[in-house]
Amino acid sequence: MKMTNKIIFGIDIGGTTIKCGYFDDKGNMAGKDEIPTRKENGGQLILADVADYIRRIVDEQGLSLSDVMGVGIGVPGSVRDDGTVNKCVNLGWGVFNVPEALAKHIDIPLENIAVGNDANVAALGEYWKGGGKGYSSIMMITIGTGVGGGLIINGKPVNGYNGAAAEIGHIPFVDDLDFPCTCGKTGCLEQVASATGIARMGGRKNAKEVFDAALAGDKDMEAVVEKVSMYLGKALAIAAGIADPECFIIGGGVSAAGEYLLEKIRKYYREYAFHPSRDNKIVKATLGNDAGMYGAARLIYKAD
Ligand SMILES: [Zn+2]
């Protein structure tokens, strides 16, 4: 398919792969690809690889770089509003300005390059085209190896002073733990509600085994899922006490447990939430691994 209109790139840089998507001027995804994240040399090759991808697609589409409306990028780390990253450990990156660095590899004006934290960018994708479509404000909770969060209020990602807003995984409110979280503290939501935490609590290889056993009627595993849901429901109630988002969106690998898990989270959320927020929605994410590309493109696409 040849695109006659302008093209937008939505790039989601992860620790293993870079998910690259391109979009037409209506905001529809027109194609996507995955390239490996080359972390050697302090991650210096990553943006060069992104630039090569952009050039390749622009060529394939018979376009030129001046047709590129912009490039949005999600990165796994905190990002200041000017696009400066502060140590993306997963990429080997230190502190530098991402738009300036990308512009050294490809002739795209700085003002057409936007960068955001990957969790916020995924939340923006779900808000725009996924489970959060139609809601004024959303908070996305991504439950995978860790527990990430992103907050969108009236169409804008809320980054916070340090780029650490909505880091719901590290809300410290679990009292009875005696081992440290990946962040160094003890008592974080992530320790009990991540896929890793769920598997540990259930004494199983992975979270899926815990859910499968619970669904098959294993009482011990049912109790684990109940406890996980209680922690998640309580954490969402805490988040509602601060941001009161119209809708919570649950994504990440653990969200594959679907309504079985969501119903339990809703039950505890209603129990813990301050009464005006009690009926806020809790739904499943719908874009899967594409959310980051959509959200990155949305950093550029401002038409609706
Ligand atoms: Zn933590």
Mean pLDDT of the chain: 94
Q: What's domain 7-117+291-300's architecture?
A: 2-Layer Sandwich (3.30)
**How many angstroms is it from 127 CA to the middle of ligand 1?**
26
Kindly report, residue by residue over 39-53, the tens digit of the pLDDT: 999 899 999 999 999
Confidence (pLDDT) at 2: 54
**How many angstroms is it from 296 CA to the middle of ligand 1?**
26
The domains of the chain are located at 7-117+291-300, 131-286
**How many angstroms is it from 198 CA to the middle of ligand 1?**
15
Confidence (pLDDT) at 223: 98
Kindly report, residue by residue over 141-155, the tens digit of the pLDDT: 999 988 999 999 998
Residues 208 and 204: their CA atoms lie apart, in Å, by: 9
pTM score over 0.95: no
Answer whether 7-117+291-300 and 131-286 agree in fold: yes
User: Confidence class of residue 269 from pLDDT cuts 50, 70 and 90?
Assistant: very high
CATH of domain 131-286: 3.30.420.40
Residue 160 has pLDDT above 90, yes or no: no
Share of the chain above pLDDT 70, in %: 98
Confidence (pLDDT) at 145: 86
**How many angstroms is it from 153 CA to the middle of ligand 1?**
24
Residue 3 has pLDDT above 60, yes or no: no
The whole-number average pLDDT for the span 189-211 is 96
**How many angstroms is it from 271 CA to the middle of ligand 1?**
25
**How many angstroms is it from 41 CA to the middle of ligand 1?**
28
Confidence (pLDDT) at 115: 95
